[in-house]
Structure 1
Amino acid sequence: MSVSVGLIIVYFLVMIGIGMWARARVHNSRDFLVAGQTLGFLVMAVGTFSSIQSGFGMIGHTGQAYAVGLEALVGAALFVPLAFALSWFLLGSRLYRLARQHDVFSVPDVIKLRFPGRSAHVTMSIAMFVGSVAYMTAQVTAMGVIIALIFGTSTTTGAIVGSLIVTIYTIVGGMLAGAWTDFIQGLLMIVMSLGVFVVATNTLGGWGSMLETIAASDVGFLRLDGPAGGQPLTFVYTFAMLAILGAAAQPQLITKFLMLRSHTELKWGAFVAAVAYAVTTLFAISIGLASRGLTMQGRAPDLVASPGGQDSTSTWFLDTMVSPWFAGFVLAGLLAAIMSSANSFIAVGASALMRDLPSAFGREVRRELLWARVASTVVVVCALLFALYLAQVVFLLGAIGWAAFAAAIFGPLVLGLYWKRATALATSVAVAYGIVANLALTLLTSEEIITLPAYFSYGGAIITSGIVLFIAVSLLAPSQGSAEHFDRLLEAPRESNGRIDRLVMACLVILTVATAGMVLDWWQPVYYAIPVSVTLFMFLGALNTANQWSSSGVAQICTFGCVMLLGFVAAHATLDSSGTLGGLPTATAIFFYLVWPFTAVAAPLVFTSVYHSWLSRDLIEVDAAAQRRSSTPATTVAGTAEDAGR
């Protein structure tokens, strides 16, 4: 264990060193909250994927793969790379434009610009702070477990030490330090996942031999419809919708678009982030399946029945099946996954507390840099106290997670930047619904006041129904003020609004049908809603500021959508087949060997092509105007004076 301890200490020192390096470059709140808008695409893209691929993703997905099999990863992990393509399509150029034209540092800043009045700004700011503390609470708990395992301390001590390390480099260096530590952590996660895949599969003789071992004992662990007692198909595909739409609307991803130094940095970011995430999914696949195969051979205990449950799969494997130095390297990678998410949410929560909420109530904060650091400390302390002393509050805060953020953000932000008819009232309703519905269902089910069917994944249903609710409220209670704000902010031509209306109505129909399938246990509408909704949102994101498409972009998106849909049709047609392909049942093989790599690579490449040939034209003048503004003496004086008293 001394090798592991040494590796982790070196890792901690590197993270703190990056924070100290960034400290000299942080002069104002713009530097602290959006890294001074100096990031290149590689640092931004790797940092984006690493902030999404958290400890939950690597440890939780590994446990699910062990307990349920590959169907769990179809729902939770395989389609997350699509979310990066969607986020770049839908938000990349439009958020970059706003960041260059206005002082936009956060999601609530965008909401303030887009919608009139105070209510939408206030509700979104509150959601960002509460949600960030909730995410940080989960990360603090996870850090406590990993550090306690490495150093042999209590979980409490581990949580305090981990929180202190993250706090030091985040408070000292802000998001500039956070972006570069995310970059280092992301690279570590990629290398670690590739190494784990080789080592884990070789414990059973390699990939093919591992699959044969599992199939000989229970082929259900390799099937899309899972083993006996596994997850219902409606649950699996509802969770896939949660993963795709949820990841595309996470604030730690969205705010990265506000940090780029040039519009040219958008071109390849989606590709890097999507492929990197796909590579790190190999961690959960390999350890989850290898550990299940070892259990089937009698070489491992039943980890589901162990004290730590299925979430102990990763730590059991590392403690038992690999050398100490390799275990230390992997544990550093897991710690990186946790910390990369933690520092992003510290920044999001700090912005909400010290900048967004005061601004929503008409208060101006002086010495923003100082108060940003104070607010960052408050976020960490709240999360640490909740994690250590208020177990029930941790449980309730944890309910405001992935689904709540996505339900609160996707409609107001994504649709709000395209659809003129989106309203401030609909924003407030969607934000409140995303938080309250998720909290209420979590509380009611945990206290066994109500019992939900096994097929019903309420997180995914809350996201889709939240988007439907946002559209419906906007249509039923139109707002001239919101429309006028849209015209001033985005300067979209009136004659092209009909195209947006038709796309939004198509999304409304698809997501309404999908939500009905989630509630009524019809898995087919949910299943096919995945390729159809992804294609619709790609079309929406391919519109330039004049709401026009390029003919080549339309052709590429149509081709991608058709190929993806054909893959889904082929997997559906072979679901009950007893045939195999590459050691996997045919339907599973279609998803893992064809659909997964195709969507992870082709979707971001379509964005790269459409952006390069079409969308980037709108941003050339935006960069030129921003450069002219930054070179004026008045701007320079204002920028340096902002935090002169820090």
Structure 2
Amino acid sequence: MPTGSPTQLIGLILTTVVVIGAGAVLSVYFGRRASTSQDWLAANESLPLFVVVITQFAASTGGGVLIAHVGIGYQAGWSVFIYEGCTLIGFLILSWIARWLREQRFTTVPDVITRLFGKNKVITAIAALAALAVPFGWIATQFVAFARLFGQLTGIPLPILVVVIVIASLSFVLPGGMTSVAWTDFIFGLFKITMSVVVAFYAIGLAGGWTHITETVPRRLWDWGGFTAVGGQQIWLWIAAIIPGTLTNQLYFQRIFATKHIADARRGLNWSGVTMLISGIYAGCIGIAVRSMAPNLANQEDAAGWLLTRLPSWMLMLFAAFLVSTIVSTGGAALQSVTANLVRDVYQNLAGKTAGERRTITLSRVITVLVSVVAGILAIAFPTALSWLVATYAYSAAALAAPIFLGYLFHRRLRLRPIAAIASMLAGILGCGIAQLLDTTVPYAVYGIAVSTVVLLVLVAATAEKRVHTNTNEKVRNA
């Protein structure tokens, strides 16, 4: 049943239409810069530093922050900063190889692994599936977030709302792929940063101020103990899944590939990591404020939706614009990332197909529509946000972390063999799956990454050959 007045519902619908329409117009405008398939798939090294920083933030803070992270704040207070901090640490570590990634002119994560271990279709297939996991999980998360939030307020059935957000996400991606997504994310990202702070402070005021909150919410959530209130096991799960997952998340890699200047690759990641703390402020403040006003919600992920139903009309319209821009921008970024994998790695590298510029862009758009439909169906069938995030991060990291980072560490001195990467990725996925089925105390992502690392080290020792540099040109090629 809808919880808003008829006037609010009309205003909410109009706000949603305006935001989606504005995003579509921006996407078409910036999409005109995408004249080639490389522009569509990777923005072709065109993004200045300030755009990279904000678009990384915009891509990172989507439905997961709106639903799952606010839920963490509601249940465990400042522990949400541990989650955001894991992303920050991942960005800082990723900056270690950012310059090299940018210099190599990659398009997708499988490009990185084949550059390190040699071209091989099995490597490409496994790496493509692993790289798809996180952005595909993000797509479903955005759809779930929109449907749950607006469903609580409007009473519109979840499947209808999923269809709406699918269409909205497509309007961001289809005009220009990565080029339109990145620039539209930049515009919306600035709005998201501003509204994150505004909504957080408004929620505190709505709850009666910080003093009243501290009187009504358990101390363990809002004092220094709040940073660990979620419990040690959950923190280790986040550390084991989110940090490696960030290190292997293709959305972040793509923005490194797209930087206009090589020197900006590292700086962009460092500043983007700092902006992630804004998400913690937003989610923590809202979660704790709602806990003060509604301490007995049956599901912690309903906290953000509950707040929606308590806002005055003018604030509801602003919040609705914030929610839609957040969800659509992140969903569009993830959708484009999945499409880039399927076109680059499956169609071109695995199937060995080639096509002209116009046909490649057309194929990319068709695949984008198909992926969004599949994600929408899964979002309807499995409408839980946090489980999508943690599971996809864990399996992606288990498969990709060791080959990418150990491969980078060894590749200058050793000629690595494809078998090492293949066995490492498969072992990581298998180890992660077995540990999850056994419901181990230690987070299952740890087992996957550990097994993948051991297998890679053993096979590198057994199969790799020392690289001999015969001249200066070869040194440059192997750098």
Contact 2:423-2:455 within 8 A present in 1 as well: yes
Q: 1:256, 1:319 → 2: CA distance?
A: 36
Letter in 1 for 2:91: F
Q: 2:473, 2:64 → 1: CA distance?
A: 38
Q: 2:45, 2:181 → 1: CA distance?
A: 13
Q: 1:359, 1:493 → 2: CA distance?
A: 24
Contact 1:5-1:328 within 8 A present in 2 as well: no
CA shift, 1:343, in A, is 1.8
Matched residue, 2:279: 280
CA shift, 1:476, in A, is 4.4
Q: Give the 3 Å change call, closer, same or farther, for CA 434–15 of structure 1 in structure 2.
A: farther
* Residue 56 (structure 2) aligned to one of 48, 52, 56: 48
TM-score (norm 1): 0.65
* Residue 107 (structure 1) aligned to one of 101, 109, 118: 109
CA shift, 1:29, in A, is 1.2
CA shift, 1:398, in A, is 6.8
* Residue 83 (structure 1) aligned to one of 90, 105, 112: 90
Contact 1:147-1:162 within 8 A present in 2 as well: no
CA shift, 1:400, in A, is 4.9
Q: 1:435, 1:145 → 2: CA distance?
A: 31
Contact 1:4-1:150 within 8 A present in 2 as well: no
Q: 1:452, 1:400 → 2: CA distance?
A: 14
Q: Give the 3 Å change call, closer, same or farther, for CA 316–170 of structure 1 in structure 2.
A: same
CA shift, 1:451, in A, is 4.6
Q: Give the 3 Å change call, closer, same or farther, for CA 18–441 of structure 1 in structure 2.
A: farther
* Residue 38 (structure 2) aligned to one of 14, 19, 30: 30
Q: How does 1:289-328 map to 2 (within 5 A)?
A: 289-294=288-293, 300-303=294-297, 305=298, 309-320=299-310, 322-328=311-317
TM-score (norm 2): 0.86
- 1:14 partnered with 2:6: no
User: Which secondary structure state, in structure 2, belongs to the residue aligned with residue 162 of structure 1?
Assistant: helix
Contact 2:41-2:107 within 8 A present in 1 as well: yes
Aligned residues: 463
- 1:172 partnered with 2:175: yes
Contact 2:237-2:443 within 8 A present in 1 as well: yes
Q: 1:415, 1:207 → 2: CA distance?
A: 47
User: Which secondary structure state, in structure 1, belongs to the residue aligned with residue 409 of structure 2?
Assistant: coil
Matched residue, 2:3: none
CA shift, 1:426, in A, is 3.2
Work out which of the two has the higher radius of gyration on C-alpha atoms and give 1 or 2: 1
* Residue 199 (structure 1) aligned to one of 192, 197, 202: 202
Deviations 1:503-548 (A, max 9, x none): xxxxxxxxxxxxxxxxxxxxxxxxxxxxxxxxxxxxxxxxxx5xxx
Q: How does 1:481-520 map to 2 (within 5 A)?
A: 491=475
Q: How does 1:360-509 map to 2 (within 5 A)?
A: 360-361=349-350, 363-366=352-355, 367-388=359-380, 390-391=381-382, 400-420=391-411, 421=414, 423-439=417-433, 441-442=435-436, 444=437, 450-453=438-441, 456-459=442-445, 461-462=446-447, 464-465=449-450, 468-469=453-454, 471-480=456-465, 491=475
Q: Give the 3 Å change call, closer, same or farther, for CA 33–19 of structure 1 in structure 2.
A: same
Matched residue, 1:550: none
Matched residue, 2:5: none
Q: 1:362, 1:43 → 2: CA distance?
A: 34
User: Which secondary structure state, in structure 2, belongs to the residue aligned with residue 255 of structure 1?
Assistant: helix
Letter in 1 for 2:453: V
- 1:350 partnered with 2:352: no
CA shift, 1:147, in A, is 4.2
Q: Give the 3 Å change call, closer, same or farther, for CA 50–462 of structure 1 in structure 2.
A: farther
Deviations 1:248-284 (A, max 9, x none): 3211111111111222433642343123211121111
Q: Give the 3 Å change call, closer, same or farther, for CA 302–241 of structure 1 in structure 2.
A: same
CA shift, 1:163, in A, is 0.5
Contact 1:225-1:233 within 8 A present in 2 as well: no
Structure 1 unmatched ranges of 5 or more: 295-299, 445-449, 495-544, 546-646
- 1:331 partnered with 2:320: yes
Letter in 2 for 1:335: V
Q: 1:396, 1:326 → 2: CA distance?
A: 30
Q: Give the 3 Å change call, closer, same or farther, for CA 400–201 of structure 1 in structure 2.
A: closer
CA shift, 1:66, in A, is 1.2
Letter in 2 for 1:16: A
Q: 2:440, 2:389 → 1: CA distance?
A: 19
Q: Give the 3 Å change call, closer, same or farther, for CA 151–439 of structure 1 in structure 2.
A: farther
CA shift, 1:492, in A, is 7.0
- 1:57 partnered with 2:65: yes
CA shift, 1:474, in A, is 3.9
Q: 1:73, 1:133 → 2: CA distance?
A: 23
User: Which secondary structure state, in structure 2, belongs to the residue aligned with residue 491 of structure 1?
Assistant: helix
Structure number with higher relative contact order (C-alpha < 8 Å, ≥ 6 residues apart): 2
Which piece of structure 1 moves more, 432-441 or 400-409?
A: 432-441
Contact 1:246-1:463 within 8 A present in 2 as well: no
Structure 2 unmatched ranges of 5 or more: 1-7
Contact 1:114-1:416 within 8 A present in 2 as well: yes
Matched residue, 1:571: none
Q: 2:85, 2:43 → 1: CA distance?
A: 31
Letter in 2 for 1:188: F
Indicate the percent of aligned positions where both proteins have the same amino acid. 21
Letter in 2 for 1:68: A
- 1:95 partnered with 2:108: no
Which piece of structure 1 moves more, 72-81 or 58-67?
A: 72-81
CA shift, 1:346, in A, is 1.8
Q: Give the 3 Å change call, closer, same or farther, for CA 316–86 of structure 1 in structure 2.
A: same
Contact 1:174-1:347 within 8 A present in 2 as well: yes
- 1:210 partnered with 2:210: no
Q: 1:423, 1:289 → 2: CA distance?
A: 51
Q: 1:258, 1:434 → 2: CA distance?
A: 26
